[in-house]
Amino acid sequence: MAGGRSGVAADRSAGGTQPFNTRETVSMKLAIIGLGRMGANMARRLSRGGITVVAHNRSRGPIDELVAEEEHVVPAYEEGDVLRQLDGPRVIWLMLPAGRVTSQAIERLLPQMSPGDVLVDGGNSRYSETMAHAERVEAAGVHFLDCGTSGGVWGLKNGYSLMVGGTREGFALIEPAIRVLAPTPDSGWGHVGPAGAGHFTKMIHNGIEYGMMQAMAEGLAVLRKKSEFDLDLAQVTELWREGSVVQSWLLDLTAEALKQEGQGLEAIRPHVADSGEGRWTAIEAIDLGVAAPVMTLALQMRFASQDEEGYGNRVLAMMRNAFGGHVVQRRDES
């Protein structure tokens, strides 16, 4: 096998020599509501960067885990405890599922907040809903910011890419936390525009991600199909990681996965979920009259992978038989 880098984690360490952004002394306290994989790791990174996090989750297990592990995490077992443990201007950062869960949380929290406080939606809300939330929140004198967040399970170590929409005044209040969460204090983050712009930017980011993943998957499928060459796809992806124009973090992850799972991937079902942002990207492209065939087709391929019934393909087989007499393969045939 061609020589290459030893692992994704080593390749992607934030700032190379500084896994957490502690170059500056940070004195800040904020709350995170929603301690799923992303929210909990963001709380960890903030704590390790010196920021005090008031942690709340619907179930207490993730709270207890954070309190036991991290020095600068304060528990808030009831949602009402969150605001009482913050000093003004209070910053509440939501890391909740998009849609009704986020909307209901905003409805509950807003009456308890004061003018000058900050409410951040760091989930994957649709940007149009974000704009509506911002109008309601800002009418009460509370700053509303939408933070498109990318980094996945690697964000704790490598930092997060942060795309923030909202007022500049509100952004200034959370900038110290942004600098700690980002890959370095001076890169990987930005105030990208008014309310909604952060989530819109993250939405398009995810659409691009769909296209990149689809192209890589198709290329590897073609390589594997050429059985006469007996290609080692773990080796091929590993050598592409150095000097190739397709080198990327996505390729790093793919190469590592092929080494760990085996290139046949027999244990993995061919079912690819979609989170919703790919759909929103395709719809937005249509509404704007922008040709985006790669992102749209990548989304459609995910739909195809989810179609275990295969009804459309069965209809095609039936039609082909009807007009051309072509053989139809039936389930009861061996």
- The pLDDT tens digits of the residues spanning 207-259 come to 999 999 999 999 999 999 999 999 999 999 999 999 999 999 999 999 999 99
Decide: residue 67, CB within 10 A, 0-12 exposed, 13-18 middle, 19+ buried. Answer: middle
Q: How many other CB atoms sit within 10 Å of the CB of residue 300? A: 14
Residue with tokens 């930005």: 190
Q: Provide the 8-state DSSP code for 33.
A: E
- DSSP states of 164-180 as a string? EES-HHHHHHHHHHHHH
Is 202 in the active site?
yes
Segment 50-88, tens digit of pLDDT: 999 999 999 999 999 999 999 999 999 999 999 999 998
Q: Please tell me the distance from the alpha carbon of residue 181 to that of residue 42, in angstroms, as a whole number.
A: 7
Whole-angstrom distance, CA of residue 94 vs CA of residue 105: 8
Token pair in block for residue 55 = 């942690």
Query: pLDDT tens digit string along 152-171?
Result: 889 999 999 999 999 999 99
Please confirm, yes or no, whether 209 is among the known catalytic residues: yes
Active site residue: 202, 238, 256, 277, which one?
202
User: Which of the following is catalytic: 65, 138, 175, 209?
Assistant: 209
List the single range of 3-7, 20-24, 179-183, 288-292 with lowest mean pLDDT.
3-7
Contacts of 224 (CB under 8 A, 6+ apart): 231, 233, 263
Q: 76 — phi, psi (to 5°)?
A: -135, 95
Give me the residue label for tokens 């992303």: 38
